[in-house]
Amino acid sequence: MKLSVIIPAYNERKTILKVLSEVERAELPGSLDKEIIIIDDFSTDGTRDIVKGLSGRHKVVFQDRNRGKGAAIRAGIKEASGEFIIIQDADMEYSPSEYRRLLPPLLNGEADAVYGSRFLKRGHRPKYRLFYLGNKFLSFLLSVLYGKRISDMETCYKVFRSEVIKSVNIKSNRFDFEPEVTAKLIKAGREIKEVPISYSSRGFADGKKIGWRDGVMAIYALIKYKFID
């Protein structure tokens, strides 16, 4: 069996090689193999040139314009050949050492998707209180609309059974991928399990891209996908 690691990257010249090195070294449970798929979302800071040099080692996809994280993930899912698919940001906020914690519920048949929750980790202290409160509100809204309690819907670390995520008609191009895929998995009766993970938040000066507008889009997406597919 194989794990497909999808790495969407946009202007991550400073960290892309470091993340890739950690992903390559990450140990997997059981006898899982690993394939790495890098999607450059039309970077302008030199990331694209770095990624070009990796095409001999890994699958590489180049977007023809900046389409957004959701669109990059969709492109990666199309290329994935593994039985399981995980999303890995290229910014060093999430450690690939957590793969061993995220995969067992899938391997044991306990879940269709596993979310790595930053908020279930004992001693977690949010760097940005406003973001933390926003995430709490999204969790509350999700529970009201869909009857499902998920502590960290916005987490990057989502692992799916390949046949499950490939059956979801994902339309979002930006960070609204997170609420869309969550809403549609719940509506399809798929089992989502959360496990605690570590997290090291970077600042906006270091390239953090998500903002308050993405929070508004997430609220809209949760409401929209409650009523449409």
The whole-number pLDDT of residue 201 equals 73
* 3-class SS letters over 147-167: CCCCCCCCCCCEEEEHHHHCC
Please name the residues in contact with 213: beta carbons below 8 A apart, sequence gap of 6 or more. Answer: none
Confidence of residue 31 (pLDDT cuts 50, 70, 90): confident
Check whether 179 has a pLDDT greater than 60.
Answer: yes
* Percent of the chain topping pLDDT 70: 92
| Alpha-carbon dihedral angle through residues 4, 9, 12, 15, given to the nearest 10 degrees | -10
Confidence of residue 121 (pLDDT cuts 50, 70, 90): confident
Confidence of residue 152 (pLDDT cuts 50, 70, 90): very high
The whole-number pLDDT of residue 38 equals 98
> Topology of domain 2-227, per CATH?
Spore Coat Polysaccharide Biosynthesis Protein SpsA; Chain A (3.90.550)
Which range has the worst mean pLDDT, 77-81, 126-130, 218-222?
126-130
What mean pLDDT value characterizes the chain?
A: 92
pTM of the model: 0.92
Q: Which residue's structure tokens are 């050492």?
A: 97
Q: In the numeric block, which tokens belong to residue 29?
A: 């449970």
Tens of pLDDT, residue by residue over 68-77, are 999 999 999 9
Check whether 205 has a pLDDT greater than 60.
Answer: no
Check whether 123 has a pLDDT greater than 70.
Answer: no
Query: How distant, in Å, are the alpha carbons of 4, 68, 116, 145, 219 from that of 34?
Result: 6, 25, 19, 36, 34
Answer with the residue of higher pLDDT: 82 or 205. Answer: 82
Tens of pLDDT, residue by residue over 187-203, are 999 999 999 999 887 55
The whole-number pLDDT of residue 55 equals 87
Check whether 36 has a pLDDT greater than 80.
Answer: yes
- Spatial contact of 26 and 96, defined as CB atoms under 8 Å apart: yes
